[in-house]
Amino acid sequence: MTLSIAALGVWAILAIFTANDFLPVWLPLILGSSVFALSFFANERRRALAALLGGALLLGGVSLWVQTELTKPEWLQDVAADQTRAEVELEILNRPKVIYQNFDQEPVYGVAVFLKSIDKQPSSGRGYLVFDGIELARGVTVGMVGTFEPAGRNSRDAFFIKPTSNLDVIADPTNTQSFVNQLRASYVSNLSGVTPDSKTLVAGLAIGEISELSEELEAKMRVVSLTHLVAVSGSNCAIVVGMVYLIAVGLRFGRTGRTVISLTGLAIYILLIGPDPSVLRAGVMAASVIIMIALGRRTWALNALALAALVLLIADPWLAVEFGFGLSVLATAGILLMAPAMSERLSHRMPIPLALGLSVTMAAQLFCLPLLMQLQPGLPTYSVVANLLAGPMVAPVTVLGMVALALSPIAPWLTQSLSWLASLGTWVIEIVAIFFAELPIAYFPWATGLPASILSVLLILAVAAWLRAGIVPVQKLAAGALVVIAVSTISVPAASEILPKAWPVKDWEVVACDVGQGDALVIQSLGRTALIDVGRDQDLINSCLSELKISRIDLLVLTHFDFDHVGGLDGALKARVVSSAIVSGFADDRPATAISLERLEQAGTSVITADPSVAGVLGNFSWKILAPTKEALEAKDSNDASVILIFSGPEMDLLLLGDLGESGQKRITAAAKRALLSSSKPLVLKVSHHGSNDQSAELHESLRPDLALISVGEANGYGHPGARALEILLSSGSKVLRTDDLGSIAVSAKDGSLSWSGSG
């Protein structure tokens, strides 16, 4: 228990310091030293806890200070803030992940990198690279010319960087990493399955490789809380170590030999998977159990978990704010602390295997609730049943998948056969995910944010008291609290269908649709509708327009042809008439341009090229284009050629900036001031480029918008919205509303004041 309390304390304190850039990183050193010193004056019962907590916190503080100095030095943050363009060498730290895909299906990747040199001068620092057109493996070193951007507040990275030249591989990974990369590639290329997604899930359960998993199935698995199956964790490590241990026993190795072989197999498996938080937690915990068994010590799983958490938090303090690490630790703690008592209660009313399966699933999800409710819109309705049905597939699929992996370099045909057999199990998982995700009310509405975390903790305490309290009145009180929570939770969906909904706000005129990392804004007046951009996902924009009951679009504006502004065009056109469309005249030869124009032609939409002479009326709104010129010769790129509009209505004005950067905003400042100078109405601003830091303080300060709408995706990988952009908006007196926080945002105006509501 002492280990557990110390681990929890270190976790909480390091989370505070890693999540707040304004706190000096050396403060944990002082705090840890103080607690350790006080341990000498504590009584015997408290001395061990204080010494352990202080010592671990001191080590964690030293680690945090050293790593911050090495990977996030101030000079490198200044380079990013100045948006410096430089020649760099970068080492790829993880497997690149697809951020989005263009119309031509070329993926755009994001990956953590380590800066090795800048302008041929040796350097060090951690950042995030966004690139396309080339596949990169973990461990390679690339050279390029790129533009630095700030990583944003509360980031473990010092910078973001985007290439302005080709990426050249200038150094291969180490021999070990190269072998691992080749083994993974050989395995994935030789997989076979009942369906494409079931084939990918075999690799997902075995080695965490799901890059080929369809977005549709991944979304459905997320809805029913099945994504943890492909996040390699403790169960996978246990299966692999168990396989290796049995092989060592079969070969008649002694205790020392079995220990060495088991630890070696575990190390190879972790190297194969990569340094994901859940993998690290599971690996260190499994290693501590193996060592304790080898030493003949009694194994306490909770101590092993606490020890793993302490070791990892000291080695990498940034894990304290990683959702993956938190969910992994909490799920394991729930299984260890709650599942046995829960299983004992349930076994009186159902078969023991079913009771055990239910208790493990419910205990893990219960303990994860405080974090899960920061990531999802409500309680997952069918997650327990879905996990109960899918769970039995994990062990056989993992075993078959690992055997297939070992055979892939020497017998590819066996890999194909074994993986196809394993895919029968993942096909069941696929069917379960699709079936339950398509049922009505996938989520029960519940509290979100901090209230959700507090309520979740109270729920955990109530369940724990009901299961483990030895005092009958306490058990009855806990049972009553659980009944109240359950009745309240179940009644909310029914009440939401009867009571008036808060979203969209009554008499709305503007809605910023939540389309993830993209833009889509609806303006409506007197039954006339304008749509400014359509996001990247056709299902998301179609869902937003359908919810707003929009069947006709009188004016469609595609500000420029970036995928996150035009990718959802088919969804906007679905079963809707689009009368006219305005597009930028910038010479853009990307496939998205031709495809978008072709879609509009097929829909019979009249297409107009933007020009400052173009203006019109939409219900009570009058609108005009500020930029660009007909051929956009003044623009340096497509963002700089975004169509910029002003809508003026009787109750509010709107300025829509597309993805216009700072230099372009300076170009239009005078025209915007002239258009809005005489207006005393509230001004709503659609913030440029999802709140990137490429903003003009002069424009915002001169216009001082009342409301600033930022259309941005959660965990977008770009650091949007940036700290500088938010500072500019707040300094100009704007109320900032973000779709990643609030969902779709509806705005109305009456009597000189603005009202708004969010769908989230």
For residue range 108-136, list pLDDT tens digits in order: 778 889 999 999 899 989 998 888 767 78
C-beta of residue 234 within 8 angstroms of C-beta of residue 286: yes
Confidence of residue 331 (pLDDT cuts 50, 70, 90): confident
Does residue 392 lie in a domain region? no
Domain shared by 706 and 565, yes or no: yes
Domain boundary among 144, 173, 202: 173
Which of 275-279, 417-421, 682-686, 723-727 is the least confident region?
A: 275-279
113 forms beta bridges with 92, 127
Domain shared by 585 and 597, yes or no: yes
Copy the structure tokens of residue 533: 């951009």
Confidence of residue 475 (pLDDT cuts 50, 70, 90): confident
Which of 162-166, 172-176, 584-588 is the least confident region?
A: 172-176
Widest CA span in the chain: 89
Taking the C-alpha atoms of residue 599 and residue 608, their distance in angstroms, rounded to an integer, is 15
Q: Residue 269 has what pLDDT?
A: 82
Does residue 676 lie in a domain region? yes
Q: Residue 232 has what pLDDT?
A: 65
Domain boundary among 173, 194, 212: 173
Please count the CA atoms within 13 angstroms of the CA of 60 that sit on its side-chain side: 33
Domain shared by 697 and 618, yes or no: yes
Sign of CA dihedral 220, 222, 224, 228: positive
Q: Residue 113 has what pLDDT?
A: 92
Domain shared by 555 and 621, yes or no: yes
Does residue 647 lie in a domain region? yes
Q: Residue 103 has what pLDDT?
A: 42
Q: Residue 299 has what pLDDT?
A: 57
Ranked by mean pLDDT, the top range of 142-146, 150-154, 256-260, 369-373 is 142-146
Instruction: Please determine, for residue 682, whether its predicted confidence score (pLDDT) is greater than 50.
Output: yes
Mean pLDDT on 375-380? 67
Range of the domain at 674: 510-751
Query: How many helices (H) and strands (E) are present in the chain, helices listed first?
Result: 27, 25
Taking the C-alpha atoms of residue 354 and residue 359, their distance in angstroms, rounded to an integer, is 8
What are the residues whose beta carbons fall under 8 Å from the beta carbon of 589, sequence distance 6 or more?
Answer: none
Domain boundary among 29, 50, 71: 71
Which of 202-211, 281-290, 599-608 is the least confident region?
A: 281-290
Does residue 47 lie in a domain region? yes
Instruction: Please determine, for residue 287, whether its predicted confidence score (pLDDT) is greater than 70.
Output: yes
Mean pLDDT on 262-278? 78
Domain containing 642 — which CATH number? Answer: 3.60.15.10
Q: Residue 441 has what pLDDT?
A: 66
Q: Residue 496 has what pLDDT?
A: 45
Mean pLDDT on 328-357? 83
For residue range 401-446, list pLDDT tens digits in order: 888 988 888 888 999 999 999 999 999 999 999 898 878 766 666 6
Domain count, the chain: 3
Q: Residue 358 has what pLDDT?
A: 82
For residue range 641-678, list pLDDT tens digits in order: 999 999 998 889 999 999 999 989 999 988 888 888 66
Domain shared by 556 and 672, yes or no: yes
Domain shared by 547 and 583, yes or no: yes
Rounded to the nearest integer, the mean pLDDT of the chain is 83
Taking the C-alpha atoms of residue 742 and residue 681, their distance in angstroms, rounded to an integer, is 25
- Among 521, 753, 513, 752, CA closest to 647: 521
Domain containing 156 — which CATH number? Answer: 2.40.50.140
Does residue 685 lie in a domain region? yes
Q: Residue 515 has what pLDDT?
A: 92
Q: Residue 264 has what pLDDT?
A: 85
Does residue 180 lie in a domain region? no
For residue range 494-539, list pLDDT tens digits in order: 444 444 445 777 788 999 999 999 999 999 988 889 999 999 999 9
Domain shared by 142 and 58, yes or no: no
Domain shared by 42 and 131, yes or no: no
C-beta of residue 206 within 8 angstroms of C-beta of residue 193: no
Domain shared by 612 and 581, yes or no: yes
Confidence of residue 42 (pLDDT cuts 50, 70, 90): low
Which pairs with CB-CB distance under 8 Å and at least 24 residues apart come from 587-593?
A: 587/631, 587/632, 588/560, 588/561, 588/638, 588/641, 590/102, 590/103, 590/561, 590/638, 591/102, 591/103, 591/104, 592/102, 592/103, 592/561, 592/562, 592/563, 592/566, 592/567, 593/561
Q: Residue 628 has what pLDDT?
A: 93
Taking the C-alpha atoms of residue 210 and residue 98, their distance in angstroms, rounded to an integer, is 11
Q: Residue 118 has what pLDDT?
A: 93
Domain shared by 522 and 643, yes or no: yes
Does residue 474 lie in a domain region? no
Q: Residue 201 has what pLDDT?
A: 92
Domain shared by 546 and 678, yes or no: yes
The Cα angle at residue 283 between residues 49 and 428, in degrees rounded to 5: 125
Domain shared by 152 and 17, yes or no: no
Percent pLDDT > 90 in the chain is 21
Centroid of chain to Cα 632: 36
Confidence of residue 395 (pLDDT cuts 50, 70, 90): confident
Q: What are phi and psi of 172, to 5 degrees?
A: -80, 165
Q: Residue 498 has what pLDDT?
A: 42
Mean pLDDT on 692-697? 90
Which of 144-148, 424-428, 673-677, 718-722 is the least confident region?
A: 673-677
What are the residues whose beta carbons fall under 8 Å from the beta carbon of 55, sequence distance 6 or more?
Answer: 32, 36
Cis peptide before 628 (omega within 30 of 0): yes
Q: Residue 719 has what pLDDT?
A: 81
Does residue 288 lie in a domain region? no
